[in-house]
Structure 1
Amino acid sequence: MTTSIPVRVLGLAPDLVDYREALELQQRTAAAVAAGETRGDVFLLEHPPVYTAGRRADPAEYPVDGTPVVPVDRGGKVTWHGPGQLVGYPVFELREHLRLVPYVRRIEQALIDALADVGVEAFRVEKRTGVWVNTGRPFDEKIAQIGIHAKRGITTHGFALNCSTDNAVFTGFVPCGITDAGVTSISAVLGRDVAPADMVPVLTPYLERLIEEVAVA
């Protein structure tokens, strides 16, 4: 499927994309959408290590391991981005009837469908945004994070899918403010290396379907 809103790969390992550069690109693209100059883009990339702190984050919760912490205007608390994680930023105008929560549910479904294609059974957890798996432990583990901002119906920020992340990084802070769950990756679940680049062709058709379902034509 091809759509008039492209899915673009900005940079994957070893060509990591600085978080602030990606944030500025989202902001420029959102302004261009608002001005009617473009319908938007969906950007796929990997970042160098960085923490982002959403609107509900308390500065007392910020990690102090020397990794940069960037306050942002998305929902949620503190999360980590870095190598091994496929990050996606859909920047476009939502259809008039569509509210933010149903949009997030559609992103979750796109990720769940892509994970199923590589053999990972994933699901939603009620009242907890993101995508989850259970590998037999007494708690669920998050495999994809989602944080969205919308202004005048135009979306920024997006999702982060843990492909081959070093999951030890998530033990140094409370991911998304959730204390009674874990964090995992596709590679950890499957027992083999699955890099972000491997997931791009798997996920792209589901992102194109998402565009057709939710973006202004």
Structure 2
Amino acid sequence: MTAPRKPFFPADRSIRADDSPLEIRRLGLVDYQQAWELQAELAAQRAADEIGDQVLILEHPSVYTAGKRTQPEDRPTNGQPVVDVDRGGRITWHGEGQLVAYPIIRLADPVDVVDYVRRLEEAVIEAVRHVGVVEAGRIDGRSGVWVPASDTRRDRKVAALGIRITRGVTMHGLALNCTNTLDFYDHIVACGIDDADVTTLSLELGRQVTVEEMTPPLLDALEAALAGRLKVADHTFAEAPDPTKGLPRAPRQG
């Protein structure tokens, strides 16, 4: 995807503030609210240099989460509760069978949010192409990782991104659909997008592609992308309207 400007750093330079090894924490199945509170605690510790950079790897029980640009019409029609959260973007769903990665890292100065997001996307593209979804790429104007339309199928998102950066430290991150159900997406306007669909790696490849299978390639690609060894490339195959552009921050519910 072509960024609106050149990155602040050369493509082969690390975007992290230091080069110490990433600490990987595999947490298993964790309640969303509990994971959010843990992220906030770790981010504060990282900002104070009390801990090093970390990546949380986990799954969530079924839950809808609404980012700061979520609109009333996005919200679920099935009566399920929604957690209003401090990340960017609109509404999405998390559930078992979905690989979630939350990097808690201090970014190098000057902080380059666009480049950070592109590097997360690049890591996911690398990982999903590695297992066989070779056409995965970007849609200009929309975050996340996508599979292009084919036959009677529309463009479809296989991984969603939503981040927050406070005091130069990242929170939230990415969710890669592996074996999860798609039923819960039928009751929301996922990410505010109604002209495309959602998919999983298992559906795309016609076999079970588990969280356990995808964790090593994703972590390898993520570490390489943040370090600058995996360079952001132009994997754009389409363009579409930004579903968050011009929207006010939505009032918190409840």
Do the aligned residues in 2 keep the contact of 1:145 with 1:160 (CA within 8 Å)?
A: yes
Do the aligned residues in 2 keep the contact of 1:50 with 1:69 (CA within 8 Å)?
A: yes
Return the match for 2:171 from 139, 156, 162.
156
1:9 counterpart residue number: 26
Distance 2:70 2:91 in 1: 6
TM-score (norm 2): 0.78
1:82 maps onto 2:95 in alignment: yes
Matched residue type, 1:150: I
Greater than 3 Å deviation, 4+ residue runs? none
> SS in structure 2 opposite 1:202?
helix
TM-score (norm 1): 0.91
Matched residue type, 1:175: A
Distance 1:61 1:207 in 2: 30
Number of aligned residue pairs: give it: 209
1:147 counterpart residue number: 162
1:210 maps onto 2:225 in alignment: yes
1:110 counterpart residue number: 123
Matched residue type, 1:110: A
> SS in structure 2 opposite 1:204?
helix
Matched residue type, 2:124: L
Distance 2:149 2:139 in 1: 15
Do the aligned residues in 2 keep the contact of 1:74 with 1:157 (CA within 8 Å)?
A: yes
TM-superposed CA distance for 1:60, in Å, is 4.3
Distance 2:228 2:38 in 1: 24
**Matched residues, percent identical?**
48
Higher alpha-carbon deviation: 65-74 or 46-55: 65-74
> SS in structure 2 opposite 1:142?
strand
Distance 1:60 1:190 in 2: 33
**Which runs of structure 2 are paired with 1:124-139 in the superposition (5 Å)?**
124-134=138-148, 136=150, 137=152, 139=154
TM-superposed CA distance for 1:135, in Å, is 5.3
Q: Which runs of 5+ in 2 are unaligned?
A: 1-18, 230-254
RMSD (Å), alpha carbons: 1.7
Distance 1:120 1:98 in 2: 32
Return the match for 2:85 from 51, 72, 91.
72
Q: Which runs of 5+ in 1 are unaligned?
A: none
